[in-house]
Amino acid sequence: MQRGRDDPKMRAGARRRGAAVAGEGDSYGVLPRPCHALVLLNPQSGSGRALDDFQAVVQPMLAEADIATTVFVTERAHHAHEKVRDEDLSQWDTLVVMSGDGLLFEVVNGLMERPDWKEAMKKPLCILPGGSGNALAASINYYAGYDHVAKKKLLTNCTFILCKGLYTQMDLVSLSTASGKRFFSFLGFGWGFISDVDIDSEKYRWLGSARFTLGTLQCLAKLRVYHGRLSYLPISAEQGSSPAPRDAPAPVTNGHIPQPAGRKRPAPCPPTRCWPRWASPCRRTGPWSPRRSLSWSTPSTSPTWAPTC
């Protein structure tokens, strides 16, 4: 029995096999065959095996898929940024990044600095995991329907996705700093402690993903204080609709909540009914202090007993 493309069982089975099945609202493109790819590779990323893994795992698979490659090996920081910013990219059908998320960050920001950035950003980008942290590659691996894997298995899965040649759009995040710089990100932005862990652990790249654990311990040992200001825009009420009614707060005078009309203030609880010190938010002189009492509060729904000191 044959099933149509819209059959839910067929779609679920295709996801388990790793096939890209477009859902509602999804739009996919297909790389041409033969395909020419510019591979930007950082040989120092991760544990330093990116070039060896590319030659052993990636190149044979791309050759079988009729994808020709031009390999550009970076030699310094921002080398890939300058390459994609200044190079004529019309000779390649796709850009492939063989590294961690940091090199793809360079490539995205280099493309956005081009005068023809609108056209340049239409060039399909591919990430092949070769770094310490491969968050985007792992996300794509999950979205394609594969099980959670790492290292060479993740590299094989992502290379297979590239060989199939399907691509789709992805959102970017824009951030402008007080100094006037503007950055674009595809995962998120870090500030403070998280950024220090990432930057300070650069010298431990040979440890692979364990560099982040060591970097975290070092940053905790010399914990810094970060000063910042968070600004946000409040949610405005929609036109033609009034804001939801809010309960009026109970008036407070000299730290005491007034009693509701017609009710008497309850007597203080005996010492034997007071909470122990470790269970009470109040400050007392001993574990069973008689200074604790109960007072009447007036919320909008029903009266409750609230402890006070």
Looking at the DSSP bridge assignments, the partners of residue 71 are 39
Closest CA relative to residue 205, chosen from 56, 27, 50: 50
101 belongs to the catalytic site = yes
The residue with tokens 């390649």 is: 92
pLDDT score at 5: 39
pLDDT score at 12: 41
Strands 304-308 and 173-176, bridge-based pairing: unpaired
One pLDDT digit (tens) per residue for the chain, 309 residues:
334 434 444 344 433 333 333 444 567 899 999 999 999 999 988 778 899 999 999 999 999 999 999 999 999 989 999 999 999 999 999 999 999 898 999 999 999 999 999 999 999 999 999 988 798 999 999 988 999 998 899 999 999 999 999 998 888 989 888 888 899 988 877 788 888 887 788 788 777 778 888 888 888 888 888 888 878 888 876 555 555 555 554 544 444 444 555 555 555 544 443 333 333 334 333 333 333 333 333 344 333 333 333
Distances in whole angstroms, Cα of residue 133 to Cα of each of 45, 51, 159: 10, 17, 17
Strands 67-73 and 35-41, bridge-based pairing: parallel
Domain range summary for the chain, segments of one domain joined by +: 29-185, 191-222, 271-298
pLDDT score at 232: 80
pLDDT score at 137: 93
Beta strands in the chain, from DSSP E residues, in sequence order:
29-30, 35-41, 67-73, 94-99, 125-129, 166-167, 173-176, 182-185, 293-297, 304-308
Q: Which of 93, 101, 196, 247 is catalytic?
A: 101
Single-letter amino acid code for the residue at 267:
A
* Distance in angstroms (rounded) separating the CA atoms of residues 76 and 300: 64
Closest CA relative to residue 61, chosen from 213, 169, 163: 163
pTM: 0.62
* Cβ–Cβ < 8 Å for 89, 32: no
| Domain 29-185, CATH number (from 1.10.357.10, 3.40.190.10, 1.10.600.10, 3.40.50.10330) | 3.40.50.10330
Closest CA relative to residue 127, chosen from 102, 152, 149, 99: 99
pLDDT score at 287: 39
CB-CB neighbours of 200 under 10 Å:
16
For 126-149, the DSSP string reads: EEEE-SS--HHHHHHHHHTTPPP-
Closest CA relative to residue 201, chosen from 211, 209, 210: 211
pLDDT score at 257: 45
